[in-house]
Structure 1
Amino acid sequence: MGMARKKGVLAALLGAAAIAGLTTLILLVQATRVLLPADTKFGMVFDAGSSHTSLYLYRWPADKENDTGVVSQALVCEVEGPGIAAYASRPAEAGAKLQPCLREALALVPEAQHPKTPLFLGATAGMRLLEQKNRSQADGILAAVAQALRGSPADFRAAGILSGAHEGAFGWISTNYVLEQLIKYSFSGEWTHSPAEKLVGALDLGGASTQITFVPEGPILDASSRASFRLYGASYSVYTRSYLCFGRDQMLTRLLAQLLPASRDLVVEHPCYHRGYQAAQPLQPLLESPCVPADLGLGPGPGHNLTVKGVGDPQACAGAIRRLFNFSSCENQKDCAFDGAYQPPVRGPFYAFSSFYYTFSFLNLTSGQSLDTANTTVWTFCQKTWEQVKAEAPGQEQDKFLPGYCSTGMYILTLLRDGYGFNQDTWSGIEFRKQVSGTDIGWTLGYMLNLTNMIPEEAPAQRRAQSCSVWTASVVFAALTLVAVLGAAAVQLFWPWG
C-alpha cells in the first residue's frame, strides 16, 4: 500500500514538473521572439542641396518600425561636385555623380534587402531657384537623376523638389525625433508626449535658403506659415518659414553684388574680409544668380573677374549685411521678422544646424555662450588680419570657407538677433549642433520617416510591457517546475518504505 501511494505521489509531481517545464519552454520561446535582435531595415535619402549633394543611409530594427527613437544613421556620403542645379546644361552628369555614393551605401545593406530598401532624392533651395529661373531645366535634371536611381537595385520611390515649408517642417520632425521629444515610454508602461514648451525649434542655414520652425505660444495667424500634423497620437501645429536667397552662399553673392557698383576697375574693397586678403572671383555667379537683381548695373559681362580686397571693418560689415534685409517693412507691424514676413515671438529651446553649426563651431561659439560673448567674438575675429587668421587655423589655409567666416558669423548674428528676434534671454536656449546620438540633424530623416509612414498618427503598441509579462510568467512556471522536481526528489529520498 505504501509503495503504491509513493508511486502515485511521484507520478503526480513529475507530471506537474513536465507540464510546468513545457509551459516555461513555450513562454521562453515567445519571449525570445520578442527580445532577441530583429532583422534590420534600411532607407536612403539623397539631400540635393544648393552647393553639394549628400547621401544618408538609415537603419532600424524591423520589429520596431513604428516605435520612436529607433532609427540611426549608418552612413553619410558626400557626392563629388556641386549641387545638381549646376548640371542644368548636362543633366545626365547629375545622375552619374550619384552612383559612387549609392554603391558605397548598398555595400552596407545585405543584398537580399536591396529591393526592400526605399531610396529617395529631395532637392532644396538650389533647385527651387532653378525652377523659378528655368522650369524645363529643373525638370530635365530631376528626370535624369530619377532615371539613374531607378536603375539601382534599391526600391527607388521619388525624386522631387521640397518646398521651403516642407524643408523646415521635416527638419523640425527630425530634430524632435532624434531627441525623443515626440514620444517617450514611461516607467508606468505608458507612452507620454513632451509639453509644447519643451519641443525643440529648428534653425537651418543652407546654401540658398534658411528656415525657422517652432511651436509658438499662441495661435499662428498666417495660414501660409503653419504646418499641422498628427504624430504618435498627438496633434502639432508649428510655425515654419523659409527665406529663399538668405542661405549662406547666396548671402555672400548678394553682399558682393551690393558692394560692386561702388568699386573701380572691378576691384571691390570688402569690409567683411580680413585686411591683407586678396583674391580673384569670377563675375559670372553674380550675373547668373536669381537672388541678384537684374537691374543692379554690374557692368561688364560674365567673362571678367573681380578682385576682392579685404578691409577688415566689422562696423561697415555689419551695416552692409543689414542692408540685405528689409527691416523697415516690419517697423509698424506686430509679430514681424523682416521683409514683411509674419513671425510670432520665438519660444522654447532651439537647435541650430547646417551652416549655423559649422560657422559657430569654427568660432568656438557652440558651448552655450551668451549673445554678448558671441557678438564680441565675431567682431574681434573680423578685426584680425588675414595672416593672423591663417596662422591661427593651421592646415586650413586652403579651406574655401576660411575667408567667409567673418561674413557668415556677422550674418548669423544679424539674422538670429535682428531678424528672428532672439535676445539675451532667448539666445541661451539655442544649441548649435551637428548631430544627436550619431545622427546628423537636418530634414532628410523627417522626410524619410514621413514618406515611409514610419511615424504613425497614433501611439505604437506597448510591446515592452507585453515582453515583461511574458518573462514574469516564465519565471513563475520555472519556479513551479523546480518545486515539483524537488518534491519528487524528497518523496524518493524520505518516504518511508511500507
Structure 2
Amino acid sequence: MSLTRFGSFFFCDIDLFSPFQTQGVKAQVFNPCYPPKFTISTKLGEDVFDSPCTEKYRPDNLDPQMTVTVVGTGNYQQCVNNVTEIFNFTKCSYSMCSFDGVFQPRVTGSFMAFSAYYFTQKYIKEITNITLTSPSRAVEAANLICNMTMAEIIDKTKAKEKYMKNICTMSSFVQVLLTNGYHFDETSYPSISFREKAGGASVGWALGYMLNVSNEVPAEGLSMMKALPSGFWAGIIFLFVVFVFFGLVYGVVINRNRTTRSDII
C-alpha cells in the first residue's frame, strides 16, 4: 500500500496491502492495477510504509531498506474492486450520499472536470480511441487499458513509464468516483466536460485547494458578516420613526409661520 499522486488525486494503492497484512512481507507481490508483467522495485521504508495510508500497519521490526518486487497482473475487475475499497458507499445518514457519509444531491446541469480528470480522459482517448461519454464507455475503456502491456501503452501515448504505470488505476478510479461516487449515469454522464482550461486560463489542483479551504470557513464566522442583531435593528427603526415624526412636525411649524407672516403683510 502506498499514497500515490496522479495530477490532483491522492489515493492509497490498497491492492498492495493484502500480502503485507495476511502473509507477512514477501520478496514479490502482485498488483492487479499495473500492466501485465510490468515490474518495479519498491523500498518498504520509503515507498510503502512512509504514508498516512499505511502508518498504522507499519511492522515494529520493519527493515526500511528492504526492497520487494511488485509485479503487474493487469486484472481490470480486481483493480476496480481494490479501488472501490477506498470509498465507503454504505455509510449514509441522508436520503442520498456520494461516499463516506457525505450528502449528495442528484446531479443536474453541466459539469467541468479538469486537472487529473482531463489528463486521464486524454490518455484514455489516445490509448483506446474511446471518448468518455457514458459509464459503459468508461468501463469498456478501463477494461481495455488494464489488459494492455506497458509497451503498448507507451507506444500509443509517447508518455513516460512513471506516469503510464498508473493509467489502469486512474481509469478505474475515475470510473468508480464518477459513477458509484457522484452517481453520474447514462443520462447525466454526457453533461461532464473534460477541460484543460477554463475561460482561457489553466486550472488545476490550486483552484481545487482554494475551493476546499473556502469550504472550511466555520459557519460561525459568516454570522459576523451579517447585519446588527434584531434588538439593535428595533432601536434604530424606533429612532428613525422619531426623527421622521419630529421632521414632519418641524416642517408643519415652519410652513405655518411662513403662512402667518404672509397674512400679516
> For 1:307, what is the secondary structure of its paired residue?
strand
Q: Which residue of 1 aligns with 2:98?
A: 337
Query: Who is 2:47 aligned against?
Result: 285
Structure 1 residues 340 and 444 mapped into 2: Cα distance closer, same or farther (>3 Å)? closer
* Residue pairs, 1:186-225, within 5 angstroms: 206-207=8-9
In structure 1, the partner of 2:140 is 376
Query: What is the CA distance between 1:347 and its match in structure 2?
Result: 2.2
Q: Is the 8 A contact 1:261 1:297 kept in 2?
A: no
Alpha-carbon distance in 1 for matches of 2:61, 2:89: 28
Instruction: Say whether 1:388 aligns with 2:148.
Output: no
Q: 1:345 to 1:299 in 2, by over 3 A?
A: farther
Offset, 1:328: 2.1
For 1:432, the equivalent position in structure 2 comes to 194
Alignment check: 8 A CA contact 1:272 1:317 kept: yes
8 A contact 1:259–1:270 mirrored in 2: no
Equivalent residue for 1:414? Answer: 176
CA contact (8 A) 2:38 2:150 kept: yes
CA positional deviation for 1:427 = 0.8
SS at match of 2:121: helix
| Alpha-carbon distance in 1 for matches of 2:132, 2:84 | 25
- From the superposition, tell whether residues 369 and 267 of structure 1 become closer, same or farther in structure 2 (CA, over 3 Å): same
CA distance in 2, matches of 1:355, 1:266: 32
Output the CA distance in 1 between the equivalents of 2:207 and 2:82: 36
Structure 1 position 377, deviation (Å): 0.8
Query: Does 1:441 find its partner at 2:203?
Result: yes
Contact 1:435 1:441 in 2 (8 A): yes
Equivalences for residues 462-481 of structure 1 within 5 A: none
Q: Aligned-pair RMSD on alpha carbons?
A: 3.1
Change in CA separation of 1:444 and 1:275 when aligned onto 2, cut-off 3 Å: closer
Partner amino acid, structure 1, of 2:133: Q
Find the aligned partners of 1:439 and 1:402 in 2 and give their Cα distance. Answer: 26
Question: What residue number does 1:155 align with?
Answer: none
Per-residue CA shift, 1:364-399, capped at 9, x if unaligned? 1795522211210111111112332233334x3x34
Cα deviation 1:393-440 (Å, max 9, x = unaligned):
34x3x3411110001110111111111211111111111111134311
- The residue identity in structure 2 corresponding to 1:315 is Q
* Paired residues of 1:368 and 1:431 also in contact (CA < 8 A): no
* 1:255 Cα deviation from its structure 2 partner: 4.0
**Counterpart in 2 of 1:103?**
none
Once residues 69 and 207 of structure 2 are traced to their aligned partners in structure 1, the CA distance between those partners, rounded to angstroms, is 41
2:122 is aligned with 1:361: yes
Q: Which range moved further: 333-342 or 377-386?
A: 333-342
CA distance in 2, matches of 1:300, 1:311: 26
For residues 294-333 of structure 1, what are the structure 2 equivalents within 5 Å? 294-295=56-57, 297=59, 300-330=62-92, 333=94
- Residues 308, 426 of structure 1: alpha-carbon distance in 2 compared, 3 angstrom cutoff: same
Q: How far did 1:297 drift?
A: 5.0
Matches within 5 A, 1:190-269: 206-207=8-9, 247=10, 250-252=11-13, 254-258=14-18, 260-262=20-22, 265-269=26-30
> Aligned AA for 2:142?
V
Between Structure 1 and Structure 2, the one with more helix by share is 2
Change over 3 Å in CA distance of 1:384–1:303 after alignment to 2: same
Q: 1:338 to 1:382 in 2, by over 3 A?
A: same
Identify if the C-alpha distance between structure 1 residues 267 and 340 changes in structure 2 by more than 3 Å, giving closer, same or farther: same
Shift of 1:327: 1.7
Structure 1 runs, 4 residues or longer, greater than 6 Å off? none
Whole-Å Cα distance in 1 between the matches of residues 33 and 134 of structure 2? 23
Aligned residue among 31, 45, 63 for 1:270: 31
On the 8 A contact 1:366/1:432 being kept in 2, the answer is no
Distance 1:380 1:292, change over 3 A: same
Evaluate the alpha carbon distance shift between residue 294 and residue 373 of structure 1 in structure 2; reply closer, same or farther with a 3 A threshold.
Answer: same
* Worse-matched range after superposition: 404-413 or 300-309: 300-309
Please name the residue that 1:184 is paired with. Answer: none
Give the TM-score taking structure 1 as reference length. 0.37
Secondary structure, in 3 states, of the residue corresponding to 2:30?
A: strand
CA change 1:439–1:323 in 2 (3 A) is same
Q: Are the counterparts in 1 of residues 30 and 70 from structure 2 also a CA contact under 8 Å?
A: yes
Shift of 1:338: 1.5
Distance of aligned partners of 1:268 and 1:315 in 2 relative to their CA distance in 1, 3 Å threshold: same
Matches within 5 A, 1:97-112: none
% of aligned pairs identical? 26
Q: Distance in 2 between matches of 1:293 and 1:443?
A: 25
Equivalent position amino acid for 1:409 in 2: S
| Structure that is richer in strand per residue | 1
- Structure 1 residue runs of 5 or longer lacking an equivalent are 1-49, 53-204, 208-246, 452-498
